[in-house]
Structure 1
Amino acid sequence: MTSAVSLLRTLSYDLPLLQANLERLLAPLGGMAAFVKPGDRVLLKPNLLTGARPGKECTTRPELVYSVAQLVQAAGGQPFLGG
């Protein structure tokens, strides 16, 4: 069995740029459609360790959660948040 890893550095949480970078990140793995099929319910579990503001890196940036949810929906999935 082989494993695939995809890494991409981004310097901005600007939504259009973040969305494009996530698509580039997932492309070598088959895109979001490789993981999400139409009708799938997909749990998005952001890191919510503390009540600190997102810039403190103790929580997942809301822009990232939003962008991943958009990709899940585009693949036909139904995202929902959990803790």
Structure 2
Amino acid sequence: MQILYFAWVRQKVGLGQEALDLPADVADVAGLIRFLSARSPGHAAAFAQAKQIRAAVNQEFCAPDHPVRNGDEVAFFPPVTGG
């Protein structure tokens, strides 16, 4: 699985991207966020306010209950505003 981080999420995590094998007990975006939060203090800080983070799986915006699997690309970023 490829994980991408953007904007302040990237700054807090300290990485722009990382590859990982999805643990068997992670089935959706919310579970992935919980898993990532435990990886480092930077991850924990980035996901401390998980409701402020948007996710996309395979370049499609999705809700926290969206399923994830190995081979997916998951991106995390702050809410996007237009103008």
TM superposition score normalised by structure 2 = 0.29
User: Which protein has the larger Cα radius of gyration, Structure 1 or Structure 2?
Assistant: 1
Q: Which has the higher helix share?
A: 1
TM superposition score normalised by structure 1 = 0.29
RCO greater where, 1 or 2, for CA within 8 Å and sep 6 or more?
2
